[in-house]
Amino acid sequence: MENFTFHVSTDIRFGKDRLDELPEVLESFGKRVLLVYGGGSIKKMGLYDQVMARLKANNNQVFELSGVEPNPRVETVRRGVEICRDENIDVLLAVGGGSTIDCAKVVAAATLYEGDAWDLVLQRRTFKGPALPLVTILTLAATGTEMNSGAVISNLSTNQKLGVGSPSMLPKVSFLDPQNTYSVNAYQTAAGSADIFSHLIENYFKRTEGTDVQDAVSEGLMRTVIKNCPIALKEPQNYEARANLMWASSLALNGLTGNGKTGSWSCHPIEHELSAFYDITHGVGLAILTPRWMDYALSDETVDTFAQFAWNVWNVEERVPMLAARIGIQKTYDYFKDCGIPMTLPEVGINEEKFDIMAKQAVEHNKIKTMAYVPMDVEDVKEILEACLTESSFV
């Protein structure tokens, strides 16, 4: 296990009907609030009215940044920065899923940054500047952004989708009420669950040895997703299923499973190219890629970890490691498919036309060629993408 620092100071308000605490939370930061949200689903579910009623009763001055895209764009960030500067915003309140919160994080930082918002994004994890305080109200279990310091922003003019992060971007307070995910449709519930699962996979398959604690936590969270996603799909208002998915989302990417394990992630860099060029749902792209990446990465050198994954996550009975590993990969593929996720690229409108440039950028924008669990060059990435064109079998 490598050295690490674990400091996640987000104040989590988990559970039912806790919005009455919102005015007191915001009071500590100021009266001028930028409310950030997406396409209007929070209005349909009544959450917008609930939030606004409490803000008005508290005499907050509220300004709005609406229309945040599913893959938040730098233009929207710039629009938020302009509002914050013009209106002297004290605190941002992001109400929505991962895209809304990611956008708000970068708005919060870019407001205090002297350059353009995209120049800030290009600094990636080296950015160390300050940010305005951010409070979040989560409506989708998926990215874990409600309890971490990272964000992902897209620039369609350059076909780039890049991660950026800084301790200053960590939300100060996050409200996690599973009831706010009741209205999430089956497709997005499945995609969000695939996103959670992928975060765990990315941290699980690392080169660092002696990480029994992190691995055991990851295995338990993966089993939690496997159990509760089908329940939420069948019973959208099952509180316990929604609660477990929501908390799994936060714990999967707040550092608990990844600290002490170094190296680049493998599937996310490739998926970011898919959604940068085609604007597809992030979790769906990850579900398509993950089993194919597993098949690529499985070898005599990696089989022990893949077998451990099969035995401890999927309860595979086969004791021959290589056979068990392949069964585990197949179960992963079948699980995503059974949850209603399309499992080939043509099903989401993607063909091989841009594989060359996407593979090239995946390698250039990240460290998968040198730091991934199994290093990948451009041709390796293309091989994985090509495997995603048709249905697959791994046993």
List the CATH number of the domain containing 326: 1.20.1090.10
Q: Would residue 393 count as lying in a domain?
A: no
Domain boundary among 113, 147, 180: 180
Same domain, 137 and 20: yes
Give the pLDDT confidence of 49-79 residue by residue, as tens digits.
Answer: 999 999 999 999 999 999 999 999 999 999 9
Same domain, 144 and 190: no
Q: What per-residue confidence (pLDDT) applies to 93?
A: 98
Same domain, 172 and 189: no
As beta bridge partners, residue 96 has: 138
Same domain, 191 and 288: yes
pLDDT at 374 exceeding the cut of 90: yes
Same domain, 204 and 351: yes
Q: Would residue 3 count as lying in a domain?
A: no
Same domain, 59 and 152: yes
Domain boundary among 154, 180, 206: 180
- Which amino acid is located at 125 in the chain? R
Q: How many domains does the chain have?
A: 2
Same domain, 169 and 205: no
For residue 218, what are its two tokens? 């990851």
Distance of CA 331 to the CA centre of its chain: 22
Q: Would residue 4 count as lying in a domain?
A: no
Same domain, 157 and 65: yes
Say how far apart CA 336 and CA 194 lie, in whole Å: 7
List the CATH number of the domain containing 62: 3.40.50.1970
Q: What per-residue confidence (pLDDT) applies to 183?
A: 94
Q: Would residue 313 count as lying in a domain?
A: yes
- Indicate the average pLDDT of the chain: 96
Domain encompassing residue 109: 11-180
Same domain, 127 and 204: no
Q: Would residue 240 count as lying in a domain?
A: yes
Residue 125 pLDDT class (50, 70, 90 cuts): confident
Same domain, 279 and 369: yes
Q: Say if CB 274 and CB 283 are below 8 A apart.
A: no
Q: Would residue 5 count as lying in a domain?
A: no
Q: Say if CB 334 and CB 328 are below 8 A apart.
A: no
